[in-house]
């Protein structure tokens, strides 16, 4: 029988360091993992983070979770997974142009929606109400919970044991959460900070008072660019909006006119693609130009400098920031509150609310070990078990569970 050499016996060359700008996060200077691990001979620390996310159960579930349109009848609408892949592509492109660690930017993009519920933001809204007595629900905090507790893959620890830079970026990609003395800021001043985040911060401080890395800021803007673009794309293909309606927004109207002038008589499908590819390009090029200007003018010479600034260093220009707000202002009433979507959202909300109520009332209806755990614990702990279970469901599994418990499920088409 042949004997194969152990991994430790194989001699490999050192991993070459990519050319990085001074303000980039250097994988060789990572603050490490909560549980120390030997370095990989073939991958950087941030590449390992990326790979752990891609192989996680939570990542696979994104394939069957709603972005905006419930994909039960048409296969071409975005899901959380296809959205995530698009965000990762945009984040990597921007990061490379800014001289950042594009592996870290990509990993953060791939992880940014791990905590989302079935049925898009509808599921999150319902769980927020259901969990109000027990600390609420926030998809960023749920993502942290997944990668530090709920994923059960490794022998030595729960979660994925990601680097500090990954966890920081996952929690703070939208900006600081507190002042230096710990007072919540921005949207957290009203709703407070999730206990999940505060509890983890005691174990491994994430500097909640500062901005995250430039790579995390890049992933956050890539998310904005991706969902603005693909929500327009999907809404056009679903017939919720048309080119004429897009002229309400000056920036979108200019893109429509540009395509019509360059390609008169072009068929509708290709016209949609020509508009959306221009939309992505304009935003990406703007982010690169504006971010380089800020990084250079403020004298950023390290990743620590980026974190210490009073504003984000990766950002839209003022002109494109106004365009971004105008697009969101257009999408909200015309797409997210379109009568067709409202009916689907209402039915989806009923599914999540019914499931939560039944599991809380009769925890024996939970599967496997969850039933015993939820029966033998406090009400607060039961609520968290139920919340974790529902938050992890795909759309179709939530409907399946509703049929199992109530005999039917609403039609979400």
Query: What is the C-alpha separation between 172 and 177, in angstroms, rounded?
Result: 7
Q: What is the CATH number of domain 22-335?
A: 1.10.3210.10
Average pLDDT of span 12-20 = 76
Torsion of CA 113, 115, 116, 121, to 10 degrees: -100
The conformational region for residue 55 under phi > 0 = left, psi -120 to 50 = alpha, else beta, is: alpha
First-to-last CA distance in the chain? Answer: 58
pLDDT bracket for residue 71 (50, 70, 90)? very low
Question: What is the residue-wise DSSP string for 164-187?
Answer: HHHHHHHHHTT---B-TTS-B-TT
Buried b vs exposed e over 120-141: b needs ≥16 C-beta within 10 Å? bbbbbbbbbebbeebbbbbbbb
Q: Is the pLDDT of residue 73 over 70?
A: no
pLDDT single digits (tens) 117-144: 999 889 999 999 999 999 999 999 999 9
User: How many Å apart are CA 127 and CA 387, to the nearest integer?
Assistant: 7
CA 125 to chain centre: 16
Provide CB contacts within 8 A for 33, sequence distance 6+: 161, 162, 163, 164
Tokens of 365: 């209806």
Q: What's the pLDDT tens digit per position in 348-402? A: 999 999 999 999 999 999 998 899 999 999 999 999 999 999 999 999 999 999 9
Going by C-alpha positions, the residue among 217, 141, 146 that lies closest to residue 175 is 217
- Give the pair of three-digit tokens for residue 21: 């700008």
Tell which residue, 400, 402, 404, 372, has the closest CA to residue 385. 372
98 CB-near residues (< 8 Å, 6+ apart) = 21, 23, 24, 214, 218, 288, 291, 292, 295, 314
What pLDDT does residue 360 have? 97
Percent of the chain with pLDDT over 70: 94
Phi/psi at 119 (5° precision): 65, 35
Instruction: Using pLDDT thresholds of 50, 70 and 90, give the confidence band for residue 146.
Output: very high
Rounded CA-CA distance 106/109 in Å is 5
Q: Which residue has the tokens 């039609």?
A: 411
CA angle 343, 344, 350 (to 5 degrees): 95
351 Cβ contact list (under 8 Å, min separation 6):
118, 119, 398, 399, 402, 409, 410
Q: How many residues are present in the chain?
A: 413
Rounded CA gap, 306 and 298, in Å?
9
Give, in order, the Cα–Cα distances in Å from 91 to each of 16, 97, 108, 147.
Answer: 22, 10, 9, 21
Mean pLDDT within 159-180 = 96
Give DSSP secondary structure letters for 339-403. Answer: HHHHHHHHHHHHHHHHHHHHHHH-GGGS-HHHHHHHHSS-HHHHHHHHHHHHHT--HHHHHHHHH
Query: What pLDDT is attached to residue 76?
Result: 61
Calculate ∠ Cα 169-171-174, nearest 5°.
80
- How far is C-alpha 160 from the geometric centre of its chain's CA atoms? 17
Asked whether residue 161 carries a pLDDT value surpassing 80, the answer given is yes
Q: Tell if the pTM clears 0.75, that is, is over it.
A: yes
Reported as a single tens digit per residue, the pLDDT across 265-285 is 999 999 999 999 999 999 999
pLDDT in tens, 244-272: 999 999 999 999 999 999 999 999 999 99
Residue 12 has pLDDT above 60, yes or no: yes
Q: Enumerate the CATH 1.10.3210.10 domain ranges in the chain, comma separated.
A: 22-335
Task: Residue 125: name the closest of 144, 139, 143 by CA.
Answer: 139
pLDDT for res 7: 54
Contact 210, 201 (CB under 8 A): no
Residues 49-62 have a mean pLDDT of 97
Task: Express each pLDDT in 184-221 by its tens digit.
Answer: 998 899 889 999 999 999 999 999 999 999 999 999 99
Q: What is the DSSP string of 9-37?
A: G---PPPPPPP--TTSPPGGG---BSS--
């Amino acid at each position: 029988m042949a004997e194969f050499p152990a991994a430790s016996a194989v001699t490999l060359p050192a991993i070459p360091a990519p050319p990085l700008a001074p303000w980039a996060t250097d994988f060789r200077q990572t603050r490490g993992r909560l549980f120390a691990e030997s370095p990989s001979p073939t991958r950087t620390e941030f590449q390992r983070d990326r790979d752990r996310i891609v192989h996680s159960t939570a990542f696979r579930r994104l394939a069957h979770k709603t972005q905006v349109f419930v994909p039960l009848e048409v296969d071409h609408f975005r899901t959380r997974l296809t959205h995530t892949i698009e965000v990762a592509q945009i984040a990597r492109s921007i990061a490379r142009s800014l001289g950042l660690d594009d592996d870290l930017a990509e990993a953060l993009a791939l992880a940014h929606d791990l905590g989302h519920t079935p049925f898009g933001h509808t599921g999150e809204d319902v769980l927020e109400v259901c969990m109000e007595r027990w600390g609420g629900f926030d998809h960023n905090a749920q993502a942290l919970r997944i990668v530090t507790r709920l994923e059960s893959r490794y022998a030595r620890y729960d979660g994925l044991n990601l680097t500090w830079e990954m966890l920081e970026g996952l929690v703070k990609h939208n900006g600081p959460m507190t002042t230096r003395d710990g007072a919540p800021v921005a949207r957290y001043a009203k709703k407070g900070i999730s206990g999940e985040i505060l509890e983890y911060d005691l174990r491994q401080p994430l500097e909640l008072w500062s901005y995250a890395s430039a790579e995390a800021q890049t992933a956050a803007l890539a998310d904005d660019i991706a969902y603005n673009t693909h929500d327009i794309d999907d809404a056009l293909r679903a017939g919720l909006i048309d080119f004429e309606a897009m002229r309400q927004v000056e920036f979108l109207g200019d893109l429509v006119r540009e395509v019509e002038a360059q390609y008169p008589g072009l068929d509708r499908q290709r016209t949609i693609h020509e508009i959306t590819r221009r939309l992505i390009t304009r935003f990406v090029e703007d982010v690169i130009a504006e971010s380089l200007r800020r990084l250079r003018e403020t004298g950023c010479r390290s990743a620590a400098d980026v974190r210490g600034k009073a504003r984000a260093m990766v950002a839209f220009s003022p002109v494109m920031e106004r365009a971004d707000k105008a697009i969101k202002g257009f999408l909200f009433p015309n797409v997210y509150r379109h009568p067709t979507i409202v009916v689907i959202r209402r039915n989806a909300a009923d599914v999540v609310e019914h499931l939560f109520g039944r599991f809380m009332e009769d925890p024996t209806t939970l599967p496997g070990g969850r039933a015993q755990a939820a029966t033998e614990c406090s009400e607060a702990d039961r609520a968290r078990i139920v919340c974790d279970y529902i938050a992890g469901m795909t759309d179709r599994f939530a409907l399946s569970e509703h049929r199992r418990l109530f005999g039917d499920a609403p039609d979400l088409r």
